[in-house]
Amino acid sequence: MFAFEAAHQLPWHAGKCAGLHGHGYRLEVTVEGPVGPQGIVLDFAEVAEVVEREVVARFDHTYLNDLMDNPTAELLAHDIWKTVEAAGLTVGRIRLWETADSMVEVTA
Ligand SMILES: [Zn+2]
């Protein structure tokens, strides 16, 4: 489980998300692949290193609207998927929580 804090606003939103506010995002990244000769798919440390460097470091303590036109949880999750795959990992699922009980899931 990874975490980052970030601000955003969704001007099209009819409710309170139109205003500037922040979230403590929680992120789960699942990778896929065959089990190799050493009995693992991928070292957990390698997954963590990629996600921390490519995703958490990029988003943590930012204003997400500076990075994306419409930073909804759904579009963030798709962006994270593409970013992790571009770093060489085969993604099987992304789960992104905006709040303790609001989560989006992207699967292959
Ligand atoms: Zn929000």
Strand intervals (E) in 9-56: 21-31
**Residue 68 to residues 8, 15, 78, Cα–Cα distance (Å):** 10, 20, 12
Torsion of CA 44, 46, 51, 54, to 10 degrees: 180
**pLDDT above 90 (res 108):** no
CA of residue 41 to ligand 1 center, whole Å: 34
By DSSP bridging, strand 62-63 and strand 21-31 are: unpaired
Q: What is the pLDDT of residues 22-33, one digit of tens each?
A: 999 999 999 999
Domain count, the chain: 1
Question: Domain for residue 51, yes or no?
Answer: yes
- Give the integer Cα–Cα distance in Å for 22 and 6: 5
Q: Which domain holds residue 96?
A: 45-108
- Range 77-85 average pLDDT: 97
- The pLDDT tens digits for 97-106 are 999 999 999 9
Task: Judge whether 73 lies within some domain.
Answer: yes
Q: Please check whether residue 14 lies inside any domain of the structure.
A: no
Q: Which of 13, 52, 54, 61 is catalytic?
A: 61
Distance from the alpha carbon of residue 55 to the mean position of ligand 1, in angstroms? 18
**pTM of the shown model:** 0.93
Q: Considering the domain boundaries, does residue 69 fall inside one?
A: yes
Report, as an integer, the average pLDDT of 78-106: 97
Distance CA 89, CA 80 (A): 12
